[in-house]
């Protein structure tokens, strides 16, 4: 009997991206919550418009988080452990029976969170896509 028949299939690139997003979205929401609190407590004369923009961004991120969790259930993906350390974000996951782990260095985590903050706040992201494509083209 072929031993590869019962071996779990490796996660696809898309599934790994989904796991990464799953790990980052709660951090994005935490940053938005913290920033809304800072704005509310700051001496700004009219904080409400700023807080409203942050809450709208949080609603978008929360909606994406909900859709992602539903897709995890559909695909049989589960994050079983995660920990944020000063040097990075670590996680273990199951994907259709395959057990794996992911490590994101803290520089990458900060950069990825900032990109998502910009996206949810409505910034035009095309310049960042062009920059990323330029880096990929050089590889």
What does the pLDDT look like over 22-77, one tens digit per residue? Answer: 999 999 999 999 999 999 999 999 999 999 999 999 999 999 999 999 999 999 99
Bridge partners of 82? 91
Give 39's Cβ-side CA count (13 Å radius).
Answer: 16
Residue 1 located in a structural domain: no
Residue 35 located in a structural domain: yes
Question: pTM of this prediction?
Answer: 0.86
Q: Which residue range is the domain that position 127 belongs to?
A: 10-138
Give, in degrees to the nearest 5, the angle at Cα 61 between 38 and 76.
135
Residue 49 located in a structural domain: yes
Residue 41 located in a structural domain: yes
Residue 63 located in a structural domain: yes
* Residue among 25, 124, 19 at smallest CA distance from 81: 19
Rounded-to-integer distance, Cα 23 and Cα 37, Å? 23
Q: What is the tens place of the pLDDT at every residue in 76-134?
A: 999 999 999 999 999 999 999 999 999 999 999 999 999 999 999 999 887 766 555 55
Residue 108 located in a structural domain: yes
Residue 3 located in a structural domain: no
Residue 5 located in a structural domain: no
Number of domains in the chain: 1
The first and second tokens of residue 73, run together, are 């259930």
């Amino acid at each position: 009997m072929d031993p590869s028949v019962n071996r779990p299939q490796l996660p696809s690139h898309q599934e790994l991206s989904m796991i990464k997003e799953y790990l980052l979205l709660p951090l994005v929401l935490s940053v938005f919550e913290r920033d809304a609190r800072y704005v509310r407590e700051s001496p700004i004369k009219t904080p409400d418009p700023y807080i409203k923009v942050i809450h709208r961004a949080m609603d978008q991120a929360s909606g994406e988080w909900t859709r992602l969790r539903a897709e995890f259930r559909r695909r049989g993906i589960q994050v079983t452990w995660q920990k944020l350390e000063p040097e990075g974000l670590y996680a273990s996951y199951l994907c259709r029976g395959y057990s794996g782990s992911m490590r994101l260095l803290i520089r990458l985590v900060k950069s990825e969170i900032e990109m998502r903050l910009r996206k949810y706040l409505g910034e035009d992201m095309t310049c960042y896509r062009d920059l990323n494509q330029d880096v990929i083209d050089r590889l």
